């Protein structure tokens, strides 16, 4: 059954405000408004190490899931705030956030592999200096691979040439 609301009543006046666009003094938006906007950032979940943008149990009373999800999104209120957040890795969609995380992880792995490649070919003294510098740094690059073991001897007997008689 429909409800008839008089335009002169308090409820009628309040509802009329929401029917008028903001540009004309009302409360309804004028059209698409880009801000405030939600931004996302992927992270590894502490328990499992799985990369997620939000935990599926967020909002169900699980405090750990809520805390994890809260640090994976933020709201920006202007274009300037959006640009500064984008510079530090925040993305417009959860899919972009996951792709950015994977790209950053791949770049880090490539840098570590490149460092290990070059360290492997350094002299022992240079390798020691590199290890000392890594120990002194706040971050730690992965350890270079262990040196190659000497080649195994063949099971074939080595045939020596006989010297000609003098």
Which H or E run includes 27? none
Confidence label for 56 from pLDDT (cuts 50, 70 and 90)? confident
Q: Domain-by-domain residue ranges, the chain? A: 16-136
Beta strand spans in the chain (E): 37-40, 43-44, 51-52, 73-76
Q: What is the pLDDT of residue 149?
A: 61
What was the pLDDT predicted at 55?
87
Residue 140 is predicted with a pLDDT of 55
pLDDT band at 59 (very low <50, low <70, confident <90, very high): confident
148: pLDDT confidence band, cut at 50, 70 and 90? low
Selection from 63, 59, 88 nearest residue 76 by Cα: 88
pTM above 0.75, yes or no: no
- State how far the Cα of 13 lies from the Cα of 94, in Å rounded to an integer: 40
Distance separating alpha carbons of residues 125 and 118, to the nearest angstrom: 14
Task: For residues 33 and 27, give the distance between their C-alpha atoms in angstroms, rounded to a whole number.
Answer: 13
Secondary structure letter of residue 23 according to DSSP:
G
Residue 2 has pLDDT above 60, yes or no: yes
pLDDT digits (tens, 9 = 90+) for 4-46: 999 999 999 999 999 988 888 888 888 888 899 999 999 998 8
pLDDT of residue 162: 64
Closest CA to 38 of 91, 103, 1: 91
The pLDDT of residue 101: 95
Residues 101-145 have pLDDT tens digits of 999 999 999 998 998 888 888 888 988 888 888 888 776 555 555
């Amino acid at each position: 059954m429909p409800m008839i609301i008089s335009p002169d009543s308090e409820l009628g006046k309040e509802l009329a405000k929401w029917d008028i666009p903001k540009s004309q003094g009302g409360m309804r938006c004028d059209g698409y408004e880009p801000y405030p906007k939600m931004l996302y950032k992927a992270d590894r979940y502490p328990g499992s190490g799985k990369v997620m943008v939000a935990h599926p149990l967020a909002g169900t009373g699980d405090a750990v899931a809520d805390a994890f999800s809260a640090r994976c999104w933020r709201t920006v209120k202007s274009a300037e705030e959006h640009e500064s957040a984008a510079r530090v890795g925040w993305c417009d969609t959860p899919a972009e956030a996951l792709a950015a995380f994977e790209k950053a992880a791949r770049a880090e792995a490539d840098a570590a592999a490149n460092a290990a490649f070059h360290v492997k070919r350094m002299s022992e003294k240079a390798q020691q200096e590199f290890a000392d510098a890594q120990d002194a740094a706040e971050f730690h690059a992965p350890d270079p691979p262990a040196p190659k073991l000497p080649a195994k001897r063949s099971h074939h007997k080595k045939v020596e040439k006989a010297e000609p008689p003098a």
